[in-house]
A and B are shown apart, each in its own frame.
Chain A
Amino acid sequence: MASIQFILDIFKLSIKALTERRTRAMLTIIGIAIGPLALVMISSVIDGYGDYVISQIEGLGQNAIILFPESNYRFTQKDLDAIRALPHVKRAEPFYSIQAQVRVGTQTRIIFVYAIPIDVVFEAIKGLEIFKGYTPSDTEYLKALVGYKIAYDDNNNQVYDLGDVITITYIRSSSGRQEIKRASVSIAGILKEFGGAFILSPDTTIFLPLQAGQRILGLSDWSGIFVLVDSSTYVTDVMEKLRQMFGNSATIVSFQSIANIANSIIGAMNFISFSASLSAFAVAVAGVAATMITSVIERTREIGVLKALGFTDFQVLLMILMESVAMSLIGGAIGIALGIVGAHMLASRGFEIRATAQAIMVIKASPKITVTGISRAVLLTIFVGVLGGIFPAYRASKILPAIALRYE
């Protein structure tokens, strides 16, 4: 009980000591605040965007694998059958894909066109739903299921309705020549807005039955094979078997592995931002130490008086340390508060991803402010106070009272 009373008393005395040297303390506090500000602001934005990206990738199907042929290789029906015969492979479907342009009102929009058994898309992407119309069957190769942002413009005005014909403009390479091609399909269904726009954006995609790849788009070779595995736990095993099967002839990716890579990138970014913030904390330690050592020198006589009155070396050490910790806590509180505000401001600007000169995707995610993140910032600021204050406090505790009382 007496110890608690003592701690409360010296905390109060510490605050009084800081208010006496207000300007110096404020400048030091500002120096301390930069570290937690940077840490909270940058980390929470990275975490927020990281979570967004991961959730987007994971939403695209955790049990899906896609194979893309290398330039010198063509997938065949034999390959497809071999894949289908692999254990834990639920489905394997070939697809054709192109990047194209469509007119949406007054705008030209960059879109993706997939010719694929469309039901496999619904099986892979959870949350994908039809807003209007229906999914064209495999034989209806002149009909399309279009993404929400193709049927509706940015102001949510409907541009295309069911039964409307939409013209796709794309570039096709054949025999080393590139030619602009046009294809028209009729809209059988419109997808509900999916949201997000990372890696695969259903909102700006036209899905056609598989046959349309050859018959409408005039493509001769499959762009890839889409594989669905029984469960996400088998993805790694199946990928390994596919690697053994195709070697360097195909690139094999899974959304799960992309999510893992994204996780690693986010982890690395977090580490870099944390390291950068640590340098701000290191500068703060030097600032606190400079302020406290000056304070101790100025108060040598006062420290002598305290010792004459019966304060032990440890109590003097604790009192001086309390001042630096108090400064740190104030600086930490200011830094964290500004960091939260800054994170929201930074995140609200959105993050631009430029796929091509025309295709710009802006993703927006809320900063992820967590108890762990805040606690980390608080602990680091306390550490700044302790580290910056420990030497001056130790020095103060070792001042000999008889000498201190003579100090001018």
Chain B
Amino acid sequence: MVQVLRIMLREVVVLEDVVKIYKVGSIVTQALRGVSLKIYEGEFIAIMGPSGSGKTTLLNMIGLLDRPTTGRIYIDGVEVSKLGSREIAKIRNLKIGFVFQFFNLINRLTVLENIEMPLIPRGIPRLERVERAKEALLLAGGELSWLPKKPLQLSGGQQQRVAIARAIVGKPALLLADEPTGNLDRASAKIVIQTFLELNKKGVTIAMVTHDPELANCTQKIYVIRDGMIVGVKEPEKSKCILYE
């Protein structure tokens, strides 16, 4: 039944036998060893694994921040492995949103300017950007009173919601989050995961890297990665989700 439903769903991300090898001088590190996975439209998946297992490298591959040494990557049905940097940047801008562990907001800019940043390469007029930024901030659980503030005037949890708003303002097909609660207290982490769940309910596909099982258990599927390979796919235990304590 699940398989039938998946056939009906669109594949947002497809990785086929992706290998990533880093070479630093004479040291060769194989970060990914033939990873294959599919993420369907509307899914909320977690990628779990110990430090150095290749979680972030995998997320970077999905997010087109890095290129595979071998293997193929498809985003929304388009094979991106062989595209030029300009086309890849365009796909990142139009189809992918990023949320980072350390928020990565630009502190000299206001919250509004941070949120509207992904719309700038598209050449969208300012008035439209402001409207979309407001909409995204509300969707990410933020408050409009934050807009004129600088990020450092907000708490960590609030900054992460601003970062989520920035990630979704361009209405991406896929939201990628790398340890989004790694720098937050428990209360803020709950708010962030709650926001992700609400966004997912509204149809946003989400892939989240985490080492926290309480967060991973809030998703629909958990990919376990070790030594650069996906070693298992687990069904989450909803009762162990951070929101059910």
Contact = CB atoms under 8 A, between A and B. Distances in A.
Interface in A286-334: 301-302, 304-315
B98 A308 contact: yes
B224 interface: no
A309 B99 CA distance: 10
Interface residues of A, number: 31
Contact of B121 (A4, A6, A19, A405): A6
Contacts of A3: 123
A320 to B, nearest CB: 14
Given A16-B108, A402-B65, A310 B170 contact: yes
19 contacts: A2-B123, A3-B123, A5-B126, A302-B104, A307-B65, A308-B63, A308-B98, A309-B93, A310-B96, A310-B118, A310-B121, A311-B121, A312-B86, A312-B89, A313-B85, A315-B121, A402-B66, A405-B65, A405-B100
A321 to B, nearest CB: 16
A10 to B, nearest CB: 7
Interface of A: 1-6, 9-10, 13, 16-17, 19-20, 301-302, 304-315, 400-402, 405
B152 interface: no
Nearest to B116: A9
Interface string B118-144: 101111111000000000000000000
A309 B123 contact: no
B109 interface: yes
B98 A309 contact: yes
Contacts of B85: 312-313
B63 A309 contact: no
Interface of B: 60, 63, 65-66, 85-86, 89-90, 92-94, 96, 98, 100, 104, 106, 108-109, 117-118, 120-126, 166, 170
Given A9-B120, A402-B65, A313 B125 contact: no
Nearest to A311: B121
Contact of A305 (B63, B86, B93, B106): B106
A301 B118 CA distance: 16
Contacts of B93: 309-311
Given A16-B109, A17-B108, A405-B65, A309 B86 contact: no
Contacts of B92: 307-310
Nearest to A312: B89
B62 to A, nearest CB: 12
Nearest to A398: B85
A217 B120 CA distance: 87
A10 B125 CA distance: 13
A312 B124 CA distance: 16
B125 A302 contact: no
A309 B90 contact: no
Contacts of A4: 123
Given A16-B109, A312-B121, A307 B89 contact: yes
Given A5-B125, A304-B104, A312-B85, 15 more contacts: A3-B123, A6-B121, A6-B123, A10-B120, A305-B104, A305-B106, A307-B65, A307-B89, A310-B90, A310-B92, A310-B170, A313-B85, A313-B89, A400-B65, A401-B65
Nearest to B129: A9
A20 B106 CA distance: 11
A314 B108 contact: no
- Lowest 10 CB-CB distances: which A-B pairs, in order? A310-B93, A2-B123, A402-B66, A312-B89, A402-B65, A20-B108, A309-B118, A401-B65, A5-B123, A402-B60
A309 B63 CA distance: 10
Contacts of B170: 310
Contacts of A307: 65, 89, 92
A291 to B, nearest CB: 16
A237 B90 CA distance: 72
A109 B146 CA distance: 81
Contacts of B98: 308-309
Contacts of B126: 5, 9
Nearest to A403: B66
A21 to B, nearest CB: 9
A407 B94 CA distance: 25
Contacts of A16: 108-109
A238 to B, nearest CB: 69
Contacts of A304: 104
Nearest to B91: A310
A313 B106 contact: no
A302 B109 CA distance: 12
A3 B120 CA distance: 10
B56 to A, nearest CB: 8
A228 to B, nearest CB: 70
Nearest to A310: B93
A1 B128 CA distance: 14
Contact of A2 (B106, B109, B122): B122
Contacts of A402: 60, 65-66
A4 B123 CA distance: 8
A140 to B, nearest CB: 86
A309 B94 CA distance: 9
Contacts of B122: 2
A343 to B, nearest CB: 38
B124 A5 contact: yes
A301 B100 CA distance: 12
Nearest to A19: B108
B217 to A, nearest CB: 27
A313 B86 contact: yes
A305 B107 CA distance: 13
B107 to A, nearest CB: 9
Nearest to A301: B104
Nearest to B101: A405
A6 B120 contact: yes
Contacts of A301: 104
A314 B86 contact: yes
Contacts of A313: 85-86, 89
A306 B117 contact: yes
